[in-house]
Amino acid sequence: MTIDTRDPVLAKLSLLDRFLPVWILAAMAAGLLLGRLVPGVQGALDSVKVDQTSLPIALGLLLMMYPVLAKVRYEDMGHVTGDRKLLWLSLLLNWLIGPALMFTLAWVFLADQPALRTGLIVIGLARCIAMVLIWNDLACGDSEAGALLVAINSVFQIAAYALLGTFYLKILPGWLGLDTQDVTFSTWDITKAVLIFLGIPLVAGYFTRRIGLRTKGKVWYEGTFIPRIAPFALYGLLFTIVVMFALQGDAIMSDPISVVQIAIPLLAYFAIMWGVSFALGARSRLGYPKTATLAFTAAGNNFELAIAVSIGVWGVTSGQALTGVIGPLIEVPALVALVYVSLWLRRRFFS
């Protein structure tokens, strides 16, 4: 596949973001080579752990979360008066409809694959706080509204993620008579993973932003500091993938059909979630910018958190972790395509 960099949408993406699927595939290949060509690398990488997570992977997970959370505009969280309809629609879509939709798709497409099924549900609970701002800007959405919704999702995940995980992985399947004996975890395991891999970078990002705005001002912070640290989120993701595949690449690659099994429900999720959200925004007469923002903040997912939780709870060799790694490969082209759909709808139906 060739990428036309003259395309007005793709031209707005940085080189790193534009070729994100390529970098992820390259990181997978590098991890496989490292694991095969360097004797004893698996033992060295897994010798020191944070809780049950390899120290190198833990550092990579924290690194990929921090720049994202330093970018969040926490100071905008109190400015909800003029956007209450948008806020309530976002909460409905992000925390009720989105997880329920991913739960349904996971059981429809992966009922006989418990690890991959669980990985998808974990992704559905992780609401997007990273790439969504890029998609929102490319689609000419409302940047201030996007920053507000990202800030709310960031804080809400700390409070609700573990409880929702228990509900969708244990309680709801039990109510529906679905077999969950092959899904083993504790609510505390998920809580601990969220507190470590979201809580620590969230606190660091919050205080970085407060101190940066107070000492240097908003123009310097958002125009100079954030662009300098932003690439480290991708570096952390790629480093984590390299280590994962160095540790268990052979086991992961022995079942390539899993990639297709993961991709199908993810593509369905992005299309359905975005379409429903855009239709709700248009029907509620939010105007195009806020409608686009609502759609992209509802359709995207926080794969960084999903990977962190999957590794922290089920381990680096798990199907849950593999599902999280495959996620960005599917999300990037899918959301770029939806940017074009959004811009076409603006020309066609919005004045």
Single-letter code of the amino acid located at 201 = P
Q: Is the pLDDT of residue 16 over 90?
A: no
Return the structure tokens found at 223: 């125009």
Summarised one tens digit per residue, pLDDT across range 23-48 is 888 888 888 888 778 777 767 766 76
Lowest mean pLDDT among 37-46, 170-179, 189-198: 37-46
Instruction: Round to whole Å and give the CA distance between 8 and 59.
Output: 36
Instruction: Round to whole Å and give the CA distance between 111 and 310.
Output: 18
Lowest mean pLDDT among 16-20, 215-219, 248-252: 248-252
Tell how far CA 205 is from the center of its chain.
Answer: 17
> What integer pLDDT is reported at residue 250 of this predicted model?
64
> What integer pLDDT is reported at residue 336 of this predicted model?
87
Summarised one tens digit per residue, pLDDT across range 311-330 is 888 887 788 988 988 888 88
Report the share of the chain in percent with pLDDT over 90: 37
Lowest mean pLDDT among 181-190, 202-211, 284-293: 181-190
Phi, psi of 302 (to 5 degrees): -90, 85
Instruction: Round to whole Å and give the CA distance between 109 and 101.
Output: 12
Q: pTM above the 0.95 mark?
A: no
Summarised one tens digit per residue, pLDDT across range 333-343 is 899 899 999 99
Cα dist from 268 to 38, 119, 161, 276, whole Å: 40, 16, 23, 12
> What integer pLDDT is reported at residue 3 of this predicted model?
46
298: Cβ–Cβ under 8 A, 6 or more apart, which residues? 90, 93, 94, 97, 98, 273, 274, 276, 277
For domain 66-215+252-345, give the CATH number.
1.20.1530.20
Instruction: Round to whole Å and give the CA distance between 122 and 186.
Output: 14
> What integer pLDDT is reported at residue 315 of this predicted model?
82
Instruction: Round to whole Å and give the CA distance between 89 and 40.
Output: 52
Lowest mean pLDDT among 107-121, 132-146, 266-280: 132-146
Tally of CB atoms within 10 A around 76: 18
Under DSSP, is residue 68 helix (H, G, I), strand (E, B) or coil? helix
Tally of CB atoms within 10 A around 26: 14
Instruction: Round to whole Å and give the CA distance between 101 and 98.
Output: 5
> What integer pLDDT is reported at residue 152 of this predicted model?
85
Instruction: Round to whole Å and give the CA distance between 68 and 17.
Output: 14
CA angle 185, 180, 156 (to 5 degrees): 50
Instruction: Locate the domains of the chain by residue range.
Output: 66-215+252-345
Sign (positive/negative) of CA torsion 307, 311, 314, 318? positive
> What integer pLDDT is reported at residue 240 of this predicted model?
84
Nearest in space to 106 (alpha carbons), one of 122, 128, 126, 127: 122
